[in-house]
Amino acid sequence: MAVKRLGILTGGGDAPGLNAVIRAVAKVAESAGVELYGFLDGYSGLIRGNFRKMEKRDISGLLHRGGTVLGTNNRDNPFNFPVKEGNELVFKDMSDTALENLRMLSIDCLIVIGGDGSLAIARELTQKGARIIGVPKTIDNDMQGTDQTFGFDTAVATATEALDKLHTTAESHHRVMVLELMGRYAGWIALYSGVAGGADVILIPEIPWKMQKVAEKIFARQKEGKPFSIIVVAEGAKLPDGEKVVRETIKGSGDPIRLGGISYRIAEMVEQVTGFESRATILGHVQRGGSPSPFDRILATRYGEAAAKLALAGEYGKMVSLKNGIITWMPFEEIPQGCRTVPLDHPLIQAARSIGISFGD
Ligand code: F6P
């Protein structure tokens, strides 16, 4: 079947590099003489029929731009789609509408750039007959089936810069600074930026920790003449008693729990146990914004090129992936379920321990 028209959408939380993927797909499509239709605001645009034909001018100046020019959202799931009935919001299975819209627009293949939620939906739509290629995205780097997602490298750079800034104020005030980073239930961002930013303690969901051990590290530094310390904590790390700190629960979201706030709890505990004045910073959505790093621009471009080529070759139902530095792909049904957490024997954990970083264990 000769491919004439591709569709594209970005779903879930944004990540630096989304526009670079869109650009690469558009360029490959253009040189193959294939049209590209962009659906707006994630799956919402596919259900509501909000789309636009991507012209040459739409992809100019995209490589370095953060966010997504197509818009995104992390609520609207076609299988559980919010519909207003009178004054009430009810959730309905609108997946048939998604398939019908793809048919009506003669989209030969839809490229979905998204995290685990958006790609789980892509997989379900594929089972119903849709032709989809997935591109793995998230700053959290927690997706199964690929060694790295784009967006992660930029988030690590942003967090590292924040750590550099916290260092100078921590040292001046002889304080303990606690920096809370995103990552959901995986500690990738905290581990990488903690090492890059010279953290003294890194607390991640994968490693249970004790306040006493954190305090020992702070006192050891004081003894060495360094009466200040930097603690990096992943938002998904649990408190020593196993409590997960939740900021809010979002109704209608496929992943309703929003983590956040553990840094304040840790700063309080540090003050109580060590007597050191402590402050907490939640870096938040700054980690998702801004211009993608060169690494993310390259990875996003490679993913976009590979996704477009798979689509043109009629190879549907697959996610592009990075394995040992090489771009390859994986059928949706072979992607393991669940979150890709940091393995306890990860070389960076070993290296961090060897240079004296404490994981509070
Ligand atoms: O998955 C990306 C991410 O930024 C997580 O690190 C974070 O927990 C979550 O999204 C925040 O979601 P929202 O933008 O809905 O607050």
Question: Which CATH number do you get for residue 19?
Answer: 3.40.50.450
Q: For strand 257-259 and strand 132-136, is the pairing parallel, antiparallel, or unpaired?
A: unpaired
> Which phi and psi angles does 90 have, rounded to 5°?
-120, 160
Pocket probe for ligand 1: among 283, 288, 339, the residue whose CB has the most ligand atoms within 8 Å is 288
Say yes or no: 235 and 115 in one domain: no
Beta partners for 88? 85
Percent of the chain residues past pLDDT 90, beyond the cut: 95
Beta partners for 83? 90
CATH number at residue 216: 3.40.50.460
Residue 233, in any domain of the structure: yes
Say yes or no: 55 and 163 in one domain: no
Domain containing 52: what range? Answer: 5-150+292-323
Beta carbons of 338 and 144 less than 8 angstroms apart = yes
Say yes or no: 201 and 243 in one domain: yes
Quote the pLDDT of residue 217.
Answer: 98
Work out how many domains the chain is built from and give that number.
Answer: 2
Quote the pLDDT of residue 153.
Answer: 98
> Alpha-carbon dihedral of residues 317, 323, 327, 333, nearest 10 degrees?
0
Which residue ranges in the chain fall short of pLDDT 70?
none
Say yes or no: 64 and 92 in one domain: yes
Quote the pLDDT of residue 253.
Answer: 77
* Ligand 1-lining residues (CB < 6 angstroms): 13, 74, 115, 138-140, 182-184, 235, 258-259, 288
CA of 217 to the centre of ligand 1 (A): 30
Residue 336, in any domain of the structure: no
Say yes or no: 88 and 178 in one domain: no
- Measured from the Cβ of residue 191, the count of other Cβ atoms closer than 10 Å reads 28
Say yes or no: 166 and 226 in one domain: yes
Say yes or no: 181 and 312 in one domain: no
Residue 238, in any domain of the structure: yes
Tokens of 199: 């953290």
Say yes or no: 165 and 118 in one domain: no
What's the sign of the alpha-carbon dihedral 215, 219, 222, 224? negative
Residue 338, in any domain of the structure: no
Say yes or no: 349 and 206 in one domain: yes
- 287 CA closest ligand 1 atom index: 4
Scanning 105-201, the segments in alpha helix (DSSP H) are: 116-127, 152-173, 188-196
Sheet (strand 5-10) strand order: 51-53, 35-39, 5-10, 109-114, 132-136, 318-323, 326-331
- 74 CA closest ligand 1 atom index: 15
Residue of 14, 41, 140, 200 marked catalytic: 140
Say yes or no: 160 and 218 in one domain: yes
